[in-house]
């Protein structure tokens, strides 16, 4: 029985959705959110639960083994769900150091701790980007890794460590590979929140290259339910893809966002392509449906409409994130790519 859950990276986009989900679905669980609070970590994401007696926040780095071990001991943790990561491809192209540190060494620290304290399970949250790009067809859980960005390579390193720890020590870890996630509270550097907030500010949207790259999109609520199923039902050492089947070319996605924001196509600014830009990610998610009984529920057009509405209503949340270091980041990013 899992009762005391350590959620690492819980102040970020998907991790904060998962904490709120767990506290509402399992009111008897105790959740510790262990997060370094990098630029992407935001305690505003957890306002609804910050006074919940079953929730505790600890600021810490998953690469700091002592801090992780103390947290596990002091809170009688019995399982870890690891969302902590550096996550943005464009940033990884500018500087990969933090990606390798957190996404590989950090995972090793969590695996060691899972082993040392005989935890019941560790769930590693990862991405379909580890499989690389595919023109047609779908990657299964057996497909070889072929990462193309420093982000994808570092995530692949962490995922391979999960495999190695299971094979070497039978550490009860499960790795997950999800397609692109969208929803509320996503840092406005990723394409959907960036484009929505730019339009709300009256700015154009920078569409990379020819706009024909394809991504598969899943709503954060469906991702949370998938991780719930994996945490409670998946066998140690197993691997699951999490997908929705909703594939979109970036140009199609952009036009849907423009329509929801009441703007015309002249707000599209074609810009130079991302270096090494993967053309299409696509995964076969039949295994999780077959084995764990999960399936995606949110219709993309509904999810996108709700997401746009949330950004419209919550300028207080994103406006301050687009000031400060963010503008410096964008200036540097454009210089780097063009
Ligand atoms: P995010 O960037 O919004 O949040 C990451 C969180 O991790 C932040 O709160 C940050 O402060 C924290 N963090 C970073 N380094 C840390 C460290 N060393 N120690 C402790 N905390 C640290 O990311 P997200 O979009 O919520 O993604 C969460 C996970 O899901 C990541 O592992 C990512 O690779 C994976 N994933 C994301 C997507 C997506 O589309 N967002 C898709 C597939 C997989
Ligand atoms: P992103 O949200 O960065 O996710 P990922 O690269 O992990 O899939 O980008 C999604 C797609 O949108 C990707 O093909 C790159 C493209 N994109 C743009 O065209 N313009 C942008 O400003 C950004 C951030 C992304």
Say yes or no to pLDDT of 335 above 70: no
Residues 26 and 174 occupy one common structural domain: yes
78 domain residue, yes or no: yes
Backbone φ and ψ for 194, nearest 5 degrees, come out as -65, -45
Say yes or no to pLDDT of 329 above 90: no
Q: Is the pTM of the predicted complex or chain greater than 0.95?
A: yes
Residues 63 and 200 occupy one common structural domain: no
Q: Which atom of ligand 1 is nearest the CA belonging to 103? A: 32
Say yes or no to pLDDT of 159 above 70: yes
Residues 223 and 322 occupy one common structural domain: no
Residues 53 and 195 occupy one common structural domain: no
Say yes or no to pLDDT of 295 above 60: yes
Count up the domains in the chain and report the number.
Answer: 2
Whole-number Å distance, alpha carbon 227 to ligand 1 midpoint, is 15
**Mean pLDDT value across the chain:** 96
Residue whose CA is at the smallest distance from ligand 2 atom 23: 191
Rounded to 10 degrees, the C-alpha dihedral 178/196/33/46 comes to -140
Share of the chain above pLDDT 90, in %: 95
The predicted-structure confidence for 62-112, as pLDDT tens digits, reads as follows 999 999 999 999 999 999 999 999 999 999 999 999 999 999 999 999 999
Active-site residue, selected from the candidate residues 138, 151, 187, 281:
151
Say yes or no to pLDDT of 275 above 50: yes
Residues 253 and 156 occupy one common structural domain: no
Which residues constitute the domain of residue 224? 4-182+217-242
Nearest Cα neighbor of 186 from 8, 9, 17 is: 17
In CATH, what number is assigned to the domain containing residue 43?
Answer: 3.40.50.720
Residues 264 and 177 occupy one common structural domain: no
Residues 91 and 226 occupy one common structural domain: yes
The predicted-structure confidence for 25-48, as pLDDT tens digits, reads as follows 999 999 999 999 999 999 999 999
Q: What is the pLDDT at residue 338?
A: 44
Residue whose CA is at the smallest distance from ligand 1 atom 1: 12
């Amino acid at each position: 029985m899992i009762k005391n859950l350590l959620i690492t990276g819980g102040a970020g986009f998907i991790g904060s959705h998962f904490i709120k989900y767990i506290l509402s679905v399992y009111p008897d669980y105790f959740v510790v959110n262990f997060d370094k609070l990098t630029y992407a970590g935001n305690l505003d994401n957890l306002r609804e639960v910050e006074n919940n007696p079953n929730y505790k926040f600890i600021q810490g780095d998953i690469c700091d083994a002592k801090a992780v071990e103390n947290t596990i001991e002091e809170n009688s943790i019995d399982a870890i769900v690891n969302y902590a990561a550096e996550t943005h491809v464009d940033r990884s192209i500018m500087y990969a150091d933090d990606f390798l540190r957190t996404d590989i060494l950090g995972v090793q620290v969590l695996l060691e701790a899972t082993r040392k304290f005989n935890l019941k399970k560790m769930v590693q949250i990862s991405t379909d980007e580890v499989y690389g790009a595919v023109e047609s067809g779908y990657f299964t859980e057996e497909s070889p890794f072929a990462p193309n960005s420093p982000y994808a390579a570092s995530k692949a390193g962490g995922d391979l460590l999960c495999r190695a720890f299971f094979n070497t020590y039978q550490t009860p870890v499960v790795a997950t590979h999800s397609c692109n996630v969208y929803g509320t509270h996503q840092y406005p550097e990723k394409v959907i929140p960036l484009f929505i907030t730019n339009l709300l500010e009256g700015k154009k949207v920078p569409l990379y290259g020819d706009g024909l790259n394809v991504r598969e999109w899943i709503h954060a609520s469906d991702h949370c339910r998938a991780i719930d199923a994996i945490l409670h039902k998946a066998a140690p050492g197993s691997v699951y893809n999490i997908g929705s089947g909703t594939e979109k070319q970036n140009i199609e996605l952009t036009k849907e966002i423009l329509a929801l924001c009441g703007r015309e196509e002249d707000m599209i600014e074609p810009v130079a392509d991302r270096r090494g830009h993967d053309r299409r990610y696509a995964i076969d998610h039949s295994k999780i449906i077959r084995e764990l009984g999960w399936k995606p529920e949110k219709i993309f057009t509904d999810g996108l409409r709700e997401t746009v509405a949330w950004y419209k209503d919550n300028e207080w949340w994103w406006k301050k994130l687009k000031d400060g270091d963010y503008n410096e980041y964008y200036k540097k990013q454009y210089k780097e790519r063009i």
